[in-house]
Each structure stands twice: as structure tokens, then as C-alpha cells.
Amino acid sequence: MMEPLPVSIEQISDSEWVETPESVKRYLLGRIEQLERQYEELKAENAMLREQLRRNSQNSSKPPSQDQGNRFKPKAKQEKEKKKPRGGQLGHEGHEGKFYPLEACETVTEHYPERCINCGGRLQGKDPEPYRVQQVEIPPVVPVVREHRFHALKCACCGVRTRAWDEVIINGCRYGERIVSTVGLLSGQYRQSHRMVQGLLDQLSNVKHIAR
């Protein structure tokens, strides 16, 4: 019958240890040290995880939404939400206070059902209170470019050429007030880099080559 293996290095007899080759001794001692170090690391990590699980909004600065019990919705509620289609629901009344006034609408399209959902008969008439949906879109933005040409003309009397000149336009900013304000807002209040500001203006309004 095979003798049970020792569970610790202390259970190895002196005679057996003396007969053990030095290379095996070094390996065993190094391996034991490595395993002990890993054990201490795992022990500390386990304690930290237990402490994190113990924390909640009552005994720490965590918000209530991150409490362990609030991380998952009840199964019945999840199934109910799955069955509910996305978007506006039939019978749901529109929120009149959130609508734009009719004069702000570019178009108003009336949609009428053609046949009865129950018997298939043709439908006629008008609904005095139709269900309303408004879709809002940003109009396409095209940069307004104004070119100034300063001509030089030769005097017929003395032959001197005189060029038109406007100090404000020639030595002033190459961008209008709206662009300057937008760049200041993005780089100042919203702390965007020059590259990000240039990219935003290029994507949103096709304005390119913003100088620093």
C-alpha cells in the first residue's frame, strides 16, 4: 500500500531531505514560496471583493441605483416590457404641450385608414382629434462665403495705379461672428480641442480650415 504523501515540507524526514537532489530542493522551495505569495494575493483580493459586495447606498457613497438588489429587474416586469411594442401606443393621447405650433410645421400630412380593422369595410369621414406625431429635422447647413475683391485701377491722368482698400476686411478675421462664437463656445465652455472643433464644424456645417 502506498504511503500518504506529506502535506507540508515539515513532514519530510531529515534523511529524505538529505537524499533529495539540490536542484529538486531549489525547485520545491521556490514553488512553495510562489504558491504562498499567490495565496496571499488571492486572499487579499477575496477580502476586497467581499467588501465591495457589502457596500450599498446606506453605508457608502454609492448611489441607490447601484445597490445589488436594484441591478436586475423582476422577471415579470422584463416579460411585460418585451411584449410592449416600441414607440407610440394605440390609444395613447398626444402631449399637446410638447407640440410645435401648426404655423411652424413645413408640411402637415393627414393619414386615413382605408378599411375597418374588424370587418374590412371601407371607411369615410374625419377624425376631429387625430393622433398627432411631429418629426423635427435640422435644415441642411451650407456655409455662407463672401468674397471681397480689391481692384487696382490705373489713373488716366498720371498713370498711378490705385487699389481699393478696406483695413477692417483685409486685416480682420476671416470668419464671421457666428463661426467665431461657435468656436469660442466649443473650445471654451465645452473644452474641445482645435482638432475636435474643426471636425465638428466640418461635419455639421461644411466649414473647413479653421485657423488657430
For the stretch 170-190, pLDDT in tens is: 888 788 888 888 888 888 888
Q: Residue 172: inside a domain, yes or no?
A: yes
User: To 5 degrees, how large is the angle CA 120–CA 121–CA 123?
Assistant: 120
Final residue belonging to a domain, choices 21, 44, 63:
63
Q: Residue 142: inside a domain, yes or no?
A: no
Q: How many folded domains does the chain comprise?
A: 2
Q: Residue 121: inside a domain, yes or no?
A: no
Q: Residue 104: inside a domain, yes or no?
A: no
Q: Residue 144: inside a domain, yes or no?
A: no
For residues 196 and 123, give the distance between their C-alpha atoms in angstroms, rounded to a whole number. 55
Q: Residue 33: inside a domain, yes or no?
A: yes
| Model pLDDT, residue 110 | 93
More confident residue, 121 or 16: 121
Task: Encode pLDDT of 7-25 as tens digits.
Answer: 566 677 777 778 888 887 7
Q: Is the pLDDT of residue 165 over 50?
A: yes
Q: Residue 80: inside a domain, yes or no?
A: no
Task: Encode pLDDT of 77-98 as tens digits.
Answer: 555 555 555 555 555 554 455 8
Q: Where are the alpha helices (DSSP H) in the chain?
A: 14-19, 22-54, 75-83, 167-171, 177-184, 194-205
For residues 12 and 32, give the distance between their C-alpha atoms in angstroms, rounded to a whole number. 14
Q: Residue 41: inside a domain, yes or no?
A: yes
Q: Is the pLDDT of residue 162 over 60?
A: yes
Per DSSP, the three-state class of 73 is: coil
Rounded average pLDDT over 122-140: 89
Rounded average pLDDT over 127-140: 88
Structural domain range at position 47:
10-63
Residue 73 confidence class, pLDDT cut points 50, 70, 90 = low
Q: Is the pLDDT of residue 44 over 80?
A: yes
Q: Which cell goes with 194?
A: 482645435
More confident residue, 20 or 71: 20
